[in-house]
Structure 1
Amino acid sequence: MAQVEKKPAWYERIAWGIVIPVVLLAIISLYTIWIAAANDPSMGSPLKTVVSQGIWYLLSAGLIVLVMQFDSEQLFKIAPYIYGIGIILLIAVLFLYNRQVAADTGAKSWFKLGPLTFQPSEIMKPAFILMLARVVERHNNRYAHTIRNDWILLAEIIGWLLPVAILLKLQNDFGTMLVFIAIVAGVVLVSGISWKIIIPTYGIVALIGIIAITLVVTPSGQEILTHFGFKAYQFQRINAWLNPAEDTSSGAYQLWQSMKAIGSGQLFGIGAGKLNVYVPVRTSDMIFSVIGESFGFVGSCALILIYFYLILQMVKITFETKNAFYSYISTGIIMMILFHVFENIGMGIDVLPLTGIPLPFVSQGGSALLGNMIGVGLILSMKWHHRDYMFSTAGDF
């Protein structure tokens, strides 16, 4: 009987259930970017565009390998330093932001590095998740769960969020701020905070959200919000979302074209490599319209299923590792990816307003890809450093 060859130890330590869907998303990304660039003369050479994104993928893969070398104890110790670097970058971009991008988007959130642009808030997302996980783990190791202690933990979490929120407000980057709020909401749910606190707190947040929506969708409300720093381009996106057919030549043009493109794909799409509808910024924010038009409803559902499988595997690894600190990290990363997917696809089909949120692992862009791949690296490190015990960090800070 032939002897079955034993797989090397390193092979067993890699979470292939996460690696495979990410590789599939990378292939989809490069192909859809190629299609979009090949059908848009303003994009220049399709080959150059795809090679540029491919280089970002290679750099990100190297970053994943680096992140995987850190175990939970090391991640716990370096979290404040990573968070601090992220805050410094968010401050620096307020003074060194790309003037051209700010003029086009209204957001002062991009560095200009030669021919490249870089958005530090994308790197801040995994840095913030690490810090949030440290705060929760440290608090839970030091204190029992009482109503008083849970309020203290919630205050700590909000305290670490506030500097990020203020800096993003100064950058006029409301869309990214929503991602951080989603991360906090997810981590709070698994932090052990009593439901006696969570339910009324989330109820108040929901009430504030309803009031905010009422303000942004009404002319009088928008006038009030202008006194609090909201910009005209933000209201233009809201109005385009509410009435995309009202002005398809200016404010709602991108959304209207995206809806036309996705609708024209019907069930199976018009065919791989073919695009008949022009959509602005199609390689980044509106990349889903390429998939919808070329591969139709079936192709779009296949993409969503890949994301679903990726999230499912992340949850599975979290339960397998049985490490509380890792569970807080994975929850933050899962919420980050889920919100990106939900918002990007939602805005492409007019379910949600335009916010400039990229589609994870698929949209063109280096900084967003780096941030998401760091998140993947953190999840992979759970499997790589698998231990069936919780470490004590109560004395560290």
Structure 2
Amino acid sequence: AKSWLAFGPLTFQPSEVMKPAYILMLGRVVAQHNAEFYEHTIKTDWNLIGKLALWTLPVAVLLKLQNDFGTMLVFFAIFSGVILVSGVSWKILAPLFGGAAFLGTAGILLAVYGRNLLMAIGFKAYQFARIEAWLNPSASTTGNSYQLWQSMKAIGSGQLFGTGFNHSNVYVPVRESDMIFSVIGENFGFIGGCILIFIYLLLIFQMIQVTFDTRNEFYAYISTGVIMMILFHVFENIGMSIGLLPLTGIPLPFISQGGSALIANMIGIGLIMSMRYHNKSYMFSSSKEFR
């Protein structure tokens, strides 16, 4: 992937900061569409999906040019989450998500049995290698599966309570970034991993609570996008570290090394906090006017 811009010693990843901007734009488009069309029909719902797809197309093209399929999956998760809460009929959503699930399954099968077809449409050899490593990590523990195998060894060696803080005995490539969960699993064990997942769930629960407290349609679309962004990052990063999902370059929010990703996540949380602040300010001013 070629996703970074370098300014001397500093590097910057534009696709990370694009995520909150993309969430704001999708929220704006959906809010304006629903304000214009009070009643949802099949025609208006397809119209909304078309608008969102048009705003997604430039992002998809740029990510394709960067060969960054992992980040594209994050944008797809955000897109899916906003579509789900936008009011689009399930008569449209069910076939769309069913078709996406079918294509994903077919893609995995073709990666094993029909590579020539996938290579003809732009898939690379390293992507096939990741699928192979995911399906059979013990087949090439010193080759394509090395990173995943080492991650699973590190997490397994932590057992229940871990080896202790900063006591990492198993080498895992890029463990300071994409494979950071292997360090947590090794140092703090199963208990530490569960605590971390619980903290993420608590964070997501609080963001959902803010959404219901504010009762603002535009805010709901923004918070949904932020929730889907963080939730997908957590699910994909932890899933790939334990062999549940194929390896891809997705950092663990607020923990993995990477300034661009940290900025994007902080912007997302800042948006949620701003919603609560504005809601409290509005309620306070309303109560003063009433008095």
- Could you say which TM-score interval applies, normalised by the shorter chain? over 0.9
Match of residue 313 from structure 1? 206
For residues 370 and 306 of structure 1, the distance between their equivalents in structure 2, rounded to whole angstroms, comes to: 20
For residues 253 and 213 of structure 1, the distance between their equivalents in structure 2, rounded to whole angstroms, comes to: 21
1:87-102 correspondence to structure 2 within 5 Å: none
Match of residue 155 from structure 2? 262
For residues 240 and 115 of structure 1, the distance between their equivalents in structure 2, rounded to whole angstroms, comes to: 34
Offset at residue 159 of structure 1 (A)? 1.2
Match of residue 12 from structure 1? none
Unaligned runs of 5+ in 1: 1-106, 390-397
The root-mean-square deviation of aligned C-alpha atoms, in Å, is: 1.2
Residues 203-237 of structure 1, C-alpha deviations (whole Å, 9 max, x = no match): 2222222221211233xx22221111111111111
Residue 21 of structure 2, aligned match among 127, 130, 134 = 127
For residues 317 and 172 of structure 1, the distance between their equivalents in structure 2, rounded to whole angstroms, comes to: 36
User: Letter of the aligned partner of 1:253 in structure 2?
Assistant: Y
Match of residue 178 from structure 1? 73
Match of residue 286 from structure 2? none
For residues 19 and 231 of structure 2, the distance between their equivalents in structure 1, rounded to whole angstroms, comes to: 13
For residues 212 and 293 of structure 1, the distance between their equivalents in structure 2, rounded to whole angstroms, comes to: 33
For residues 134 and 94 of structure 2, the distance between their equivalents in structure 1, rounded to whole angstroms, comes to: 30
SS in 2 for 1:112: strand
For residues 89 and 133 of structure 2, the distance between their equivalents in structure 1, rounded to whole angstroms, comes to: 40
SS in 1 for 2:128: helix
For residues 242 and 207 of structure 1, the distance between their equivalents in structure 2, rounded to whole angstroms, comes to: 18
Residues 145-188 of structure 1, C-alpha deviations (whole Å, 9 max, x = no match): 12211110111111111111111111110000001111111111
Residue 197 of structure 2, aligned match among 279, 284, 304 = 304
For residues 178 and 137 of structure 2, the distance between their equivalents in structure 1, rounded to whole angstroms, comes to: 17
Match of residue 109 from structure 1? 3
Match of residue 142 from structure 1? 36
User: Letter of the aligned partner of 1:157 in structure 2?
Assistant: L
Unaligned runs of 5+ in 2: 284-291
Match of residue 135 from structure 2? 242
Match of residue 85 from structure 2? 190
Are residues 1:290 and 2:210 paired?
Answer: no
For residues 114 and 215 of structure 1, the distance between their equivalents in structure 2, rounded to whole angstroms, comes to: 42
Residues 344-363 of structure 1, C-alpha deviations (whole Å, 9 max, x = no match): 00000000000110000000
Question: How does the TM-score come out when normalised to structure 2?
Answer: 0.94
Match of residue 108 from structure 2? 213
Offset at residue 264 of structure 1 (A)? 0.3
Are residues 1:337 and 2:230 paired?
Answer: yes
**Could you tell which deviates more after superposition, 380-389 or 118-127?**
380-389
Give the paired residue count: 281
1:71-90 correspondence to structure 2 within 5 Å: none
User: Letter of the aligned partner of 1:184 in structure 2?
Assistant: F
Match of residue 16 from structure 1? none
Match of residue 26 from structure 1? none
Match of residue 239 from structure 2? 346
For residues 89 and 106 of structure 2, the distance between their equivalents in structure 1, rounded to whole angstroms, comes to: 26
For residues 113 and 240 of structure 1, the distance between their equivalents in structure 2, rounded to whole angstroms, comes to: 35
Offset at residue 116 of structure 1 (A)? 2.2
User: Letter of the aligned partner of 2:257 in structure 1?
Assistant: Q
For residues 251 and 293 of structure 1, the distance between their equivalents in structure 2, rounded to whole angstroms, comes to: 22
Contact 2:108 2:131 in 1 (8 A): no
For residues 382 and 216 of structure 1, the distance between their equivalents in structure 2, rounded to whole angstroms, comes to: 44
Offset at residue 238 of structure 1 (A)? 1.3
For residues 248 and 132 of structure 1, the distance between their equivalents in structure 2, rounded to whole angstroms, comes to: 43
Higher relative contact order (CA 8 A, sep 6+): 1
For residues 226 and 215 of structure 1, the distance between their equivalents in structure 2, rounded to whole angstroms, comes to: 10
Match of residue 164 from structure 1? 59
User: Letter of the aligned partner of 1:336 in structure 2?
Assistant: M
Residue 165 of structure 2, aligned match among 237, 250, 272 = 272
Q: Which runs of 4+ in 1 moved over 6 A?
A: none
Residue 97 of structure 2, aligned match among 202, 205, 208 = 202
1:373-388 correspondence to structure 2 within 5 Å: 373-386=266-279
Residues 258-316 of structure 1, C-alpha deviations (whole Å, 9 max, x = no match): 00000000000011221110111010000001110010000000000000000000000
Question: How does the TM-score come out when normalised to structure 1?
Answer: 0.69
